[in-house]
Structure 1
Amino acid sequence: MTVPQRDLESDPAAGSARRILVVAHTGREEARAVTRAIVGALLGHGLVVRMLEDEAKESELPAGVEVESVPCEAAGADECELVLVIGGDGTILRACELTHGTTTPLLGVNLGHVGFLAEAESEEVDTMIERVVARRWSVDERLTLDVQVFQGKEKVASTWALNEASVEKAVRSRMLEVVVEVDGRPLSRFGCDGIVCATPTGSTAYNFSAGGPVVWPEVEALLMVPISAHALFARPMVVGPTSTLAVEVLARTEGAGVLWCDGRRTVDLPPGARIEVRRGASPVRLVRLHEAPFTDRLVAKFGLPVAGWRGAAERRRRQADHVHQDQP
Structure 2
Amino acid sequence: MTRRVLIVTHGGRPEAVVALREAVQELEDAGFSVALHDDDLAETFGDHMALTRAREGVAQSEVVMVLGGDGTILRAAELTHGTRVPLLGVNLGHVGFLAESEREDLHGAVARLAAGDYEVEERTVIDVRVHLPGQPEPVVGWALNEATVEKAERERMIEVAIGVDGRGLSSFGCDGVVTATPTGSTAHAFSAGGPVMWPEVDAVLVVPLAAHALFARPLVVGPRSTVTVDVLARSASSGVLTCDGRRRIDLPAGSRVEVRRGASPLRLARLSTAPFTDRLVSKFSLPVVGWRESADRRAWGGRTDAVAENVPGPHGNREE
Band the TM-score falls in, shorter-chain normalisation: 0.7 to 0.9
What is the aligned partner in structure 2 of residue 104 from structure 1? 85
| 1:94 alignment partner AA | R
| 1:49 alignment partner AA | V
Q: Which runs of 5+ in 2 are unaligned?
A: 41-51, 295-302, 308-320
Deviation at 1:268, TM superposition (A): 0.2
* 1:53–1:168 CA distance, 2 compared to 1 (3 A): closer
Asked if 1:194 is matched to 2:202, the reply is: no
* 1:54–1:186 CA distance, 2 compared to 1 (3 A): closer
| 1:303 alignment partner AA | S
Q: Distance in 1 between matches of 2:199 and 2:271?
A: 16
Give the secondary structure class of the aligned counterpart of 2:250. Answer: strand
Pick the aligned partner of 1:140 from 91, 98, 121. 121
Counting only pairs closer than 5 Å after superposition, residues 1-12 of structure 1 correspond to structure 2 as none
| 2:78 alignment partner AA | E
Deviation at 1:53, TM superposition (A): 5.3
What is the aligned partner in structure 2 of residue 66 from structure 1? none
Q: Distance in 1 between matches of 2:182 and 2:245?
A: 16
Asked if 1:30 is matched to 2:8, the reply is: no
Q: Percent identity?
A: 59
Q: Distance in 2 between matches of 1:125 and 1:52?
A: 19
Pick the aligned partner of 1:270 from 239, 246, 252. 252
Give the secondary structure class of the aligned counterpart of 2:211. Answer: coil
What is the aligned partner in structure 2 of residue 8 from structure 1? none
Asked if 1:117 is matched to 2:102, the reply is: no
Q: Distance in 1 between matches of 2:275 and 2:112?
A: 19
Deviation at 1:77, TM superposition (A): 1.2
Asked if 1:295 is matched to 2:277, the reply is: yes
| 1:180 alignment partner AA | I
Deviation at 1:281, TM superposition (A): 1.5
Give the secondary structure class of the aligned counterpart of 1:41. Answer: helix
Residues 52 and 72 of structure 1 are in contact (CA less than 8 Å); yes or no, is this contact kept in structure 2?
no
Q: Distance in 2 between matches of 1:214 and 1:46?
A: 40
What is the aligned partner in structure 2 of residue 59 from structure 1? none
Deviation at 1:246, TM superposition (A): 0.3
Deviation at 1:154, TM superposition (A): 2.5
In angstroms, what is the RMSD of aligned CA positions? 2.1
Residues 8 and 38 of structure 2 are in contact (CA less than 8 Å); yes or no, is this contact kept in structure 1?
no
Pick the aligned partner of 2:152 from 156, 165, 170. 170
268-277 or 153-162, which deviates more:
153-162
Give the secondary structure class of the aligned counterpart of 2:59. Answer: helix
Deviation at 1:151, TM superposition (A): 2.2
Q: Distance in 2 between matches of 1:131 and 1:75?
A: 26
Q: Distance in 1 between matches of 2:289 and 2:252?
A: 50
What is the aligned partner in structure 2 of residue 90 from structure 1? 71
Pick the aligned partner of 1:42 from 21, 27, 32. 27
* 1:188–1:97 CA distance, 2 compared to 1 (3 A): same
Asked if 1:212 is matched to 2:194, the reply is: yes
Aligned length: 285
Deviation at 1:307, TM superposition (A): 3.0
Residues 120 and 128 of structure 1 are in contact (CA less than 8 Å); yes or no, is this contact kept in structure 2?
yes
What is the aligned partner in structure 1 of residue 5 from structure 2? 20
Deviation at 1:155, TM superposition (A): 3.0
Give the secondary structure class of the aligned counterpart of 1:159. Answer: strand
Q: Distance in 2 between matches of 1:258 and 1:54?
A: 25
Deviation at 1:156, TM superposition (A): 4.0
Superposed CA offset, 1:203-243 (max 9, x none): 00000011111000011110100000011000000011111
Q: Distance in 2 between matches of 1:103 and 1:97?
A: 13
What is the aligned partner in structure 1 of residue 289 from structure 2? 307
| 1:284 alignment partner AA | L
| 1:226 alignment partner AA | P
Q: Distance in 1 between matches of 2:39 and 2:178?
A: 33
Q: Which runs of 5+ in 1 are unaligned?
A: 1-15, 56-70, 318-328
| 1:251 alignment partner AA | A
Deviation at 1:74, TM superposition (A): 4.9
Superposed CA offset, 1:5-60 (max 9, x none): xxxxxxxxxxx1100001111222111111111110111111110112569xxxxx
| 1:92 alignment partner AA | I
* 1:73–1:296 CA distance, 2 compared to 1 (3 A): same
Give the secondary structure class of the aligned counterpart of 2:137. Answer: strand
What is the aligned partner in structure 1 of residue 261 from structure 2? 279
What is the aligned partner in structure 2 of residue 254 from structure 1? 236
Q: Distance in 2 between matches of 1:174 and 1:154?
A: 29
| 2:251 alignment partner AA | L
* 1:238–1:31 CA distance, 2 compared to 1 (3 A): same
Superposed CA offset, 1:229-262 (max 9, x none): 0110000000111110000000111210000000
